[in-house]
Amino acid sequence: MAVDTVVLTEREVQRLQLGGAETLELVNQAQESDAADRLLTIRAALTKYKSAVFWAMFLSTSLVMEGYDLVIITSFYGQTQFQERFGVYDPATKHNLIPAAWQSGLSNSSVVGQLAGLIVNMYAQDRFGCRPTMMFFMAWMSVMIFIPVFAPSLPVLAFGEAMCGVSWGVFQTLSTSYASEVVPTVLRPYVTAYVCMCWGAGILLSSGVVRAVASLDGDIGWRLPFAIQWVWPIPLLIGAYLAPESPWNAVRRGKMEMARKSLIRLRQDTPTKERDVDATLAYIRYTTELEKAETDGASLLDCFKGANLRRTEINCVVWAAQILCGNAILGYSVTFLEAAGFTSIQAFDVNIALSACYIIGGVICWLLFPHFGRATIYMTGLTFMFFCLIAIGGLGWATGTQSQLAVGILLVISTLVNMITIGPVCYPIVAETPSGRLRYKTITIGRFVYNLTGIFQNSVTPHMISSTSWNWGAKTALFYAGTNLLCNLWCWFRLPETKDRTFGEIDLLFANNVHARKFRTTRVEQFSQQSYIPKEAEAGVQSTTHVEEAM
């Protein structure tokens, strides 16, 4: 059976021939680092890079705040105290309700802030680095929390959500890119998937807090959950100050000594530590030089040119599918369950069970990573959720306690499936597919599309569920079953498998336009020694520039 093999293009070879023998030494060291990286087992990598794992997971904790607020604000729509303070009297139900238009407005205000934060981070991270950017926006967050805590009206609350959303937009992409760049290949899926678990931990925490304050009277019932957000910014700001900078970020900014110091801090002391650090630094420099052949200057427009357009497409669709897979109704689980016939307290209780799935599912996903590819897990999750959504939608025509119970059970099952598959697997995919020089920009564009999709979700889902608007109730699940199916069809034709691939290999697979279905089986030769013979010694060397067939 023929196996595709990809090698360096002529342009990449020319880019690497910068200094004759010096370049040859760089390539030799890079190849040594690549070989050592491939030999690492998960246990050995955890021992050797435990500092890197700690810092990746610590800074990812910033996503707890976003997940926390996501459910806080949507849970308030069904909270009695919040309804009494800001709601409008509904004669049909004989109590105050938050209008669907304001539900959309409050949810979208934070998304608009996140869009602004994404744009700021796209340039700040490239210009100033990961640590300074994280520190500044943690301080920003500490100040902006005051607005929602003391908001006297819905417009002020919406403004406060937008201002807090700027920080969340920064943390969304910064945490993922930082985590992917400080650990070796074998640990990359675990630390990036942990980003999703932190987001889920915030949702679980907020669900518990909202349930705990459900019996409190007055404004304290909704002010206290907002105030709890002050727990996070100061410790994380201090942690960002003490953390090492991403070595990949430092190399891209031309700060080689900073990159070297970071690599020293990120790995365990061993007799060969200095040599290992030099080899890893050489690999980062080598891969960065390769990427310059396609993205010299690394402008935003480069994300939409050549092979990078395909990488940007993958980021955008994989992010958007996080919502379109059916996760949209999970974000409105309290109001969704109430519309299905649950009482307010019952809905909050089931919501806690749903939120716990984010942690349990993430742990199960870790166990799947060594055995299955990212694309396989992702598409399996989409398929399973599709059938769950069809079943939930069908129950929308049923009545009685049994159908309500069935909806609740199916919501828990679909949430667990989502958090075993689609949720956590999204993060290694979006971290691995961009080129290094465009990683922050590509992830930001993808997350931007995610937030635009979120605006769509926040605009239509409340109307679908609300009894005072379209009143679809559980039938809403059928709409998202359709979007789920479209996402799964795209994945079959366009989503490549990046399991066990280094950043350099992924670059060459995209540069040679390898089909998504062949990513897993194609052999990559990113170190071809004849390509680095000094020009003065071998002026006539020719490089293979295409995909070869090897028996």
| Average model confidence (pLDDT) across the chain | 82
Q: How far apart are CA 235 and CA 225, in angstroms?
A: 19
Beta bridge partners of 3: 550
Q: Is the pLDDT of residue 543 over 50?
A: no
* Domains defined along the chain, listed by start: 36-504 (1.20.1250.20)
- Torsion angle, alpha carbons of 315, 319, 325, 328, to 10: -160
Give me the helix-helix angle, 130-144 and 100-128, nearest 10°: 150
- Please name every residue paired with 88 in a beta bridge, in sequence order, or none if there are none: 97
DSSP 78: T
Residue 494: what pLDDT? Answer: 95
Q: Which of 364, 44, 32 is nearest to 196 (CA)?
A: 364
C-alpha–C-alpha distance, residues 465 and 340, integer Å: 9
> How many CA atoms within 13 Å lie on the side-chain side of 399?
0
Q: How far apart are CA 321 and CA 491, in angstroms?
A: 10
Q: What is the pLDDT of residues 436-471, one digit of tens each?
A: 888 888 988 998 898 889 888 877 887 887 766 787
Closest to 250 in 3D by CA, of 293, 291, 294, 284: 284
Question: What pLDDT does residue 529 have?
Answer: 45
If we measure between CA atoms, which residue out of 88, 80, 209, 105 comes closest to residue 156?
A: 105
Mean pLDDT of 339-353: 69
Could you tell me the two tokens for 341?
């016939």
pLDDT at 511: 84
Q: How far is CA 289 from the centre of its chain?
A: 26
8 pLDDT tier (thresholds 50, 70, 90) = low
- Give the CA dihedral 240, 499, 357, 405, nearest 10 degrees: 150
445 and 303 Cβ atoms separated by less than 8 Å = yes
Q: Measured in whole angstroms, how far is the alpha carbon of residue 284 from the centre of its chain?
A: 23
Q: What residues contact 502, with CB distance under 8 A and at least 6 apart?
A: 34, 37, 38, 185, 526
Q: What is the pLDDT of residues 199-256, one digit of tens each?
A: 878 877 887 787 788 777 788 888 888 898 898 888 999 999 999 999 999 998 889 9
Stretch among 2-6, 127-131, 325-329 having the lowest mean pLDDT: 2-6
Q: Which of 132-141, 336-345, 435-444 has the lowest mean pLDDT?
A: 336-345
| 208 secondary structure, DSSP code | H
pLDDT at 542 over 70: no
